[in-house]
Amino acid sequence: MVNNITANDLKVKGVSILDQMTADQNEAIITVRGKSKYVVLTIDEYNYLRECELEAALVESRKDLQNGDFHSDSIEEHLKRIKHA
């Protein structure tokens, strides 16, 4: 289960509560007025998720290349195409 931190706890306890709450899990949710508002990740977790995001983009790009779903226009032609899309 993800750890929840209230905005007030964060204000009172500062960064130390983030260290405490992310020690067992790599993430914590900050709640504001009882509603989940922000997610705090350890830098390792953030880097891992970012790497996954970039890997997914690479897979999608390779698929587009394989399927011929790309343009090799000039910059001017590209700008015309996206302005009229």
Task: Concatenate the DSSP letters of all residues of 47-83 into one string.
Answer: HHHHHHHHHHHHHHHHHHHHTT------HHHHHHHHH
Strand, helix or coil for residue 44: helix
Overall pTM > 0.85 = no
Question: Does residue 60 have a pLDDT over 90?
Answer: yes
Taking the domains of the chain in order of start, what are their residue ranges?
A: 3-41, 44-83
Q: How far apart are CA 26 and CA 44, in angstroms?
A: 8
**Which pLDDT belongs to residue 84?**
85
Q: First vs last Cα of the chain: how many Å apart?
A: 44
In this prediction, residue 13 carries a pLDDT of 94
Tell me the C-alpha distance between 61 and 56, whole Å.
9
